[in-house]
Structure 1
Amino acid sequence: MTDDERNRFSARALRYARVGANVGGVAARMAGSRLLGGAGGSEANAAALATALGGLKGPLMKVAQLMATVPDALPPEYAAELQKLQSDAPPMGWSFVKRRMRAELGPEWEQRFSSFERKPAAAASLGQVHRAVTLEGEPVAVKLQYPEMQAAVEADLNQLDLLFSLHRRMDGAIDTSEIAREIGERVREELDYRREAKHVALYAHILAHEPGVRVPRIHSELSTGRLLTMAWLEGEKILAFKEHALDERNVLARAMFTAWWMPFSRFGVIHGDPHLGNYTVFRDEAGVPGGINLLDYGCIRIFPPAFVAGVVDLYRGLLEGDEARVVHAYETWGFAGLKRELIEVLNIWARFIYGPLMDDRVRTIADGVEPGQYGRAQAFEVHSALKRLGPVTVPREFVFMDRAAIGLGAVFLHLRAELNFHALFETAIADFEVGEVAQRQQAALQMAGLA
């Protein structure tokens, strides 16, 4: 075993021990309360789990937050607790940063920038971002991955599997195995910054003619598999615009809609992490909000064109009352054993997601709903109904579609946007042909080096 392999093994072993102690204790508590028939234990167990994960930081907390935003992946009381977690991992100190930068760009790395800020501009669960300036004078964002993240991710995902397998035995309404596999695959992809650079190139191509959405340029000569350098896009936090005039808030909401649904409907690609920290607002020459900067491309999902066709079929089927088309859409997505009762339960969720898209008028995304509660009532209703019907396996492609819809809805609620979502969606799927989506997708993936 090489020194590098020994270090990785040691890091993973230490992470297993720490995660196992925290999560294992909660798992034992969950099992014990189940065996003893303790009433009201779910809320207490959920709080204990959030406390255990909140002390760990790193990728496990990121995965827990992600699971909390996927409707029906967790019981409501667990989702509510895990949503409170914050990605506030302490940043690496300067001596640590210097060692990591030296490992990625060589001993003379500082001479490749005209300036490099020691204090990070942002720190998250997998890495941190420093502001710098290239030798040519261009401001850039330098995204540096924390050390031993691969070992940490594998340790955390294995422990999370243990927890969710216990949950499946205790509550069989939803089989979360496919959800867990999908999330694991996406989180592993986030560790590969070369792949993220290709995602950026993909979005730059897709959104090239959309003035309301800006995509940063990658500096490949200053990037590696664990270091990503891209143009710094000046912008302000989107929540700073909550009290602006309605027409300005609508500009931002319309840009958000375009950034997510146009790539999906025309190229079968979706940004799976519509988190408030993943975009900022840029102003135009007149100083008014012009659109959004899309900043993070680690969690991108590429769908088979047939899945996109299923989304359109379900929308059209619900809009026109065509039950056969609705059933065909669910089958296209991979739902099996579609008896009438199950279809009716799935339609509860579908009508919620598609409701604003089918309503041909200017409206909010949902009246009187707090952003953090968007979709929770419907998810609880579906979960309760599924308990009567037995376990339902959620197809893995479905995970990030749901997450994007919920995340976007929360942003629209924050902005109190009033738009004709029906008209926007009809524009997105105008002249939809699955063959054309396949051709566009293949060409775009080849251009970005992803095919």
Structure 2
Amino acid sequence: MADGTEANRFSGRVRRYAKVGTAMGGIAARFAGQRLGWEGDRGRNASELAVALGGLKGPLMKVAQIVATLPDVLPREYAAELKQLQADAPPMGWPFVRRRMAAELGPDWLQRFGEFPHEAAHAASLGQVHKAKTLDGETVACKLQYPDMASAVEADLGQLRLIFSLYQRYDRAIQTENIHTEIADRLREELDYRREARHMRLYGRMLTDEPGVHVPEPHDDLSTDRLLTMSWLDGAPLMQSVDAPLEQRNRIAYNMFRAWYVPFYGYGVIHGDPHLGNYSVRPDGTVNLLDFGCVRVFPPAFVQGVIDLYRALDEGDEALAVHAYESWGFSNLSKEMIAVLNQWAGYLYGPILDKRARSIADGEFGIEYGAGVAHKVHAELRRMGGVKPPREFVLMDRAAIGLGSVFMHLQAEMNWHELFHDLTKDFDAQALKKRQSAALKAEGLPLPS
């Protein structure tokens, strides 16, 4: 039986480098000939890169999806192509499943289930899920990690560092050291399925009073570091609801908003991967959260900074804005830099600053307007020598942009201002610290540094 995460083996990394290198070699050669690849036929290079990454199982595809949602980390042509990558991948066959399950639960593993189908219900970048039954008849999801993922993660993170360094030699608007560090830490955590089980219980605890959100329960006796067995939650993909009546779409949007932001403003915890495959919708409009590998815990001061920046933008308080940015880890901020950062913040905060019911993409806050703001901010940052975003910013930006995309798909019309104020009107950083400490300790998780 496995008792730890598979070793980050040199041989495994070499095999992974070979796969990635073969997939990207031709593209990389053109990068060198076209001012490191960021000029010339960007559209063609970006399309070929997406095809190459889409054929690879493992973390590189997940990294590509994360990076694609972060403004200005890569050229727009690359981000647009990488956003199209899907998490679904061809599943591994039954001989593989038999070997992996025996390695995790022992040679008699099949006798510990009432049913265990040969075919996977879902396959993703780091593992695949089988819809099984326990001996007492409960339907469960068995999430089984692919082999050699630790080696693949380290090899792929090395490739990501190379891509970032190439881009920064051409464009220094966004310094990527902290972005790489944050992605690396979160990806390594995703390999630890026992940690994910603790995250799952933490979310069950934090959302216990939210009737519109459902969280599975892990089965410790059928789980290991690389196998996570949990209760099965039935639901339909969100995209099947985009043509539902507005009332139903608004109900789903409300529940999604609560699912992400009750934990953040109540406990300083955020689900960092709002990918369409990580939740499903029930007929009554309630939602299921399904994946807890990418979870970020923030110090209370960071959460306070999010609220402070809202107030600064709402009241035109420049000193409070400076305080908010500094509480997140920005440093050496000039008056000019603050003005530029506030342009992007104004776009992200726009829906909650607008005191009316509206869609996320209403008026000047639509996708085209947002792209224009991002382009303008990027140009200004580049002119001023660049900015180094704090690492905590990575998943906050991803959550905000990812959820915004969900709300746009739903065309939900909500009073986002009221939703935000309902969660933050009585905010107290010290009270959050106590709740956070109690919840994390109860689930055996570390406090934020």
Asked if 2 retains the 8 angstrom alpha-carbon contact of 1:58 and 1:89, the reply is: no
Counterparts of 1:250-329 in structure 2, within 5 Å, are 250-283=250-283, 289-329=284-324
Is residue 223 from structure 1 mapped to residue 223 from structure 2 by the alignment? yes
Shift >6 Å, 4+ stretches = 4-7, 368-374
Of the three residues 381, 399, 408, the one matched with 1:404 is: 399
Tell me the percent identity: 61
Which residue pairs with 1:30 in the alignment? 31
C-alpha separation in 1, matches of 2:8 and 2:408: 46
Which residue pairs with 1:147 in the alignment? 147
Of the three residues 343, 355, 360, the one matched with 1:360 is: 355
Q: Deviations over 1:353-397 (max 9, x none)?
A: 111001111100112799987943332221122111112111100
C-alpha separation in 2, matches of 1:215 and 1:373: 35
C-alpha separation in 1, matches of 2:6 and 2:88: 29
Asked if 2 retains the 8 angstrom alpha-carbon contact of 1:115 and 1:133, the reply is: yes
Which residue pairs with 1:194 in the alignment? 194
Which residue pairs with 2:441 in the alignment? 446
C-alpha separation in 1, matches of 2:7 and 2:297: 35
Pair 410,7 (structure 1): closer, same or farther in 2 beyond 3 Å:
closer
The residue identity in structure 2 corresponding to 1:81 is E
Pair 325,6 (structure 1): closer, same or farther in 2 beyond 3 Å:
closer
Is residue 385 from structure 1 mapped to residue 380 from structure 2 by the alignment? yes
TM-score normalised by structure 1 residue count: 0.94
C-alpha separation in 2, matches of 1:412 and 1:5: 38
1:23 Cα shift?
3.5
C-alpha separation in 2, matches of 1:225 and 1:401: 27
**Structure 2 gaps, min length 5:** none
Which residue pairs with 2:49 in the alignment? 49
Which residue pairs with 2:101 in the alignment? 101
Pair 38,384 (structure 1): closer, same or farther in 2 beyond 3 Å:
closer
Pair 382,273 (structure 1): closer, same or farther in 2 beyond 3 Å:
same
C-alpha separation in 2, matches of 1:230 and 1:398: 30
Is residue 204 from structure 1 mapped to residue 204 from structure 2 by the alignment? yes
TM-score normalised by structure 2 residue count: 0.94
Deviates more, 1:250-259 or 1:387-396: 387-396
Report SS of the residue matched to 2:224. coil
Asked if 1 retains the 8 angstrom alpha-carbon contact of 2:350 and 2:365, the reply is: no
Pair 65,7 (structure 1): closer, same or farther in 2 beyond 3 Å:
closer
1:7 Cα shift?
9.9
Pair 5,188 (structure 1): closer, same or farther in 2 beyond 3 Å:
closer
Pair 141,373 (structure 1): closer, same or farther in 2 beyond 3 Å:
farther
Pair 137,418 (structure 1): closer, same or farther in 2 beyond 3 Å:
same
Asked if 2 retains the 8 angstrom alpha-carbon contact of 1:235 and 1:281, the reply is: yes
Asked if 1 retains the 8 angstrom alpha-carbon contact of 2:24 and 2:49, the reply is: yes
Which residue pairs with 1:342 in the alignment? 337
**Structure 1 gaps, min length 5:** 284-288
Deviates more, 1:245-254 or 1:85-94: 85-94
Which residue pairs with 1:158 in the alignment? 158
Asked if 1 retains the 8 angstrom alpha-carbon contact of 2:360 and 2:366, the reply is: no
C-alpha separation in 1, matches of 2:6 and 2:437: 37
Pair 34,191 (structure 1): closer, same or farther in 2 beyond 3 Å:
same
Report SS of the residue matched to 1:194. helix
C-alpha separation in 2, matches of 1:369 and 1:344: 19
C-alpha separation in 2, matches of 1:214 and 1:332: 33
Pair 114,270 (structure 1): closer, same or farther in 2 beyond 3 Å:
same
The residue identity in structure 2 corresponding to 1:14 is R
Counterparts of 1:102-181 in structure 2, within 5 Å, are 102-181=102-181
Asked if 1 retains the 8 angstrom alpha-carbon contact of 2:312 and 2:320, the reply is: yes
Which residue pairs with 1:414 in the alignment? 409
Q: Give the number of aligned pairs.
A: 442
Report SS of the residue matched to 2:70. coil
RMSD between aligned residues: 2.1
C-alpha separation in 2, matches of 1:121 and 1:300: 24
Asked if 2 retains the 8 angstrom alpha-carbon contact of 1:374 and 1:406, the reply is: no
Pair 252,178 (structure 1): closer, same or farther in 2 beyond 3 Å:
same
